[in-house]
Amino acid sequence: GGSLETRKYWNNFLQDTDLLVFLVDAADAGKLALAVSMLKELLGDPRMDNVPILVIANKQ
């Protein structure tokens, strides 16, 4: 979940991650910049160095 409430738990799940699936609502331009920022933050974590990433842009 990408809500502010659930984002605080992301760090708990990065260890031993096999795959990152990142789903973004591409129709919401206001949140798209935030999604990019969050993805960059995740990718900056060294635990994600060798983790495959699937980015899905959903147009609701």
Q: Domain tally for the chain?
A: 1
| Average model confidence (pLDDT) across the chain | 88
pLDDT-above-90 percentage for the chain: 40
Domain of 35, in residue numbers = 4-58
pLDDT at 15: 87
Q: Token digits for 2?
A: 């990408």
Query: Residues comprising the binding site?
Result: 2
Contact 41, 2 (CB under 8 A): no
Segments in 10-50 forming alpha helices (H): 29-43
pLDDT at site 1: 60
- Is pLDDT at 60 greater than 70 in this prediction? no
**Residue 32: closest CA among 5, 55, 6, 8:** 55
Q: Which residues are annotated as a binding site for GTP?
A: 2
Q: What's the rounded mean pLDDT across residues 21-36?
A: 88
Q: What are phi and psi of 49, to 5 degrees?
A: -55, -40
